[in-house]
Amino acid sequence: MASRSFRGSFTQQEPIPEDAIDAAVSVLRSGRLHRYNLAEGEPGETALLEREYADWQGSAYCLATASGGQAMQIALRASGVGPGDRVLTNAFTLAPVPGAVAAVGGDPVLVEIDENLRLDMNDLDAKARGSGAKYLLVSHMRGHLCDMDRLMEIAARHGLKVIEDCAHTMGTRWNGRRSGSFGLAGCFSTQTYKHLNSGEGGLLTSDDPDLMARATMLSGSYMLYAQHGAGPDESQFGEARYQMPNMSARMDALRAAILRPQLRGLDDNIARWNERYEAVASRLRRCHAIAMPERPESEDMVGSSIQFRVPSLDPDACRGLLDACAARGVELKWFGGTEPNGFTSAHGSWRYMREQDLPRTDAIMAALFDMRLPLTFSLEDCALIGDIIVETAMEVAQ
């Protein structure tokens, strides 16, 4: 029987909903795209998004930013990170995470991961104790939540301020509690490949009014902080308004208008992503050559991407698997390459920071593959993709 191939696109997202398009057109017709350019008595799309997202997330405050990376930079600086301060973060993550630490002058200290792609808690404990770091930027990389109870216990014991990078975990829960609500602040992305799509954009949430006052000033509020939809009381800005520089990292009204209708459909989309994840994962689990990350019972995931390892493969065989899958229409990413490629990179490529020895992470990433699961895929598409990966992995691993 001839080998089946997949004909879909791994970069094609669903269309922006019609009500979001209507909202965007309304903003364009008004000409008022800047978040503070408002008619008398008008709250503005960005302030409305902030209030709605804070309510959905269950946070007291929300700040809309120009990108998820800016949300992280602002959260780090607002929490007190300054030049030379050590910041613990994942060895396996994407470049904007250590980049955010470097952008505010911090010194990233990378923590090993385990076979389930989460922080190695023993290494976190040891490096928190030995590094002198007072900050942890935990990246919930590719949607995998750590044991957040143990993480917060370690953080409390070492006096770490925790910032959560939730770019891949918008809507994920640990024991019923949303990702982004454990630490001092949660940082979210609305870049095209995330769970809400405005092309580029970010959201920063927190229950801490002092941090959010500083964050609002850092975002560039021009003393118009009273116009924010989910910001702290004006009395919180007494010092922040003089101390924090303007980083011009605001979200505009057009992107906010596109996001608000999408937020209303997010819970339904989470269920759809998880169906697609399971359609692929159920096939991969049957293959003895493939190792899947375990999903703990405490985690309610959002399966917008899927990861797996083929531990028996050397680098040449990993490249062979990439090429063989691509020939059948399945686009995989590989984290074991020596050079950064597209949206993947490894810590050896981040040469703006100190070189660090991470043997466990390197061994895990050497045969680690990653794949997006756009909602444009049907469940039948996902089943076919899973079959193609299994068939190809078995051939390459022989």
* DSSP result, 203-239: EEEES-HHHHHHHHHHH--TT-GGG-TT---GGGGTT
Q: What is the pLDDT along the chain (398 residues), one digit of tens a residue?
A: 458 999 999 999 999 999 999 999 999 999 999 999 999 999 999 999 999 999 999 999 999 999 999 999 999 999 999 999 999 999 999 999 999 999 999 999 999 999 999 999 999 999 999 999 999 999 999 999 999 999 999 999 999 999 999 999 999 999 999 999 999 999 999 999 999 999 999 999 999 999 999 999 999 999 999 999 999 999 999 999 999 999 999 999 999 999 999 999 999 999 999 999 999 999 999 999 999 999 999 999 999 999 999 999 999 999 999 999 999 999 999 999 888 887 788 898 899 999 999 999 999 999 999 999 999 999 999 999 999 999 999 999 88
Containing domain of residue 116, as a range?
18-264
Same domain, 182 and 67: yes
Contact 210, 74 (CB under 8 A): no
Residue/partner pairs of 122-127 with CB below 8 Å, 24 or more apart: 123/360, 124/88, 124/151, 124/154, 125/154, 125/158, 127/88
- Tell me whether residue 315 is in a domain: yes
Report pTM: 0.96
**CA dist list (Å): 113 to 42, 128, 318, 336, 367:** 48, 15, 20, 14, 14
Domain C-terminal end among 233, 248, 264? 264
Same domain, 102 and 216: yes
Same domain, 40 and 180: yes
Neighbours of 171 (CB within 10 A): 24
Same domain, 310 and 165: no
- The kind and range of the H/E element at 343 are none
Same domain, 168 and 297: no
Same domain, 365 and 287: yes
The total of structural domains in the chain comes to 2
The phi and psi torsions of 240 (rounded to 5 degrees) equal -60, -35
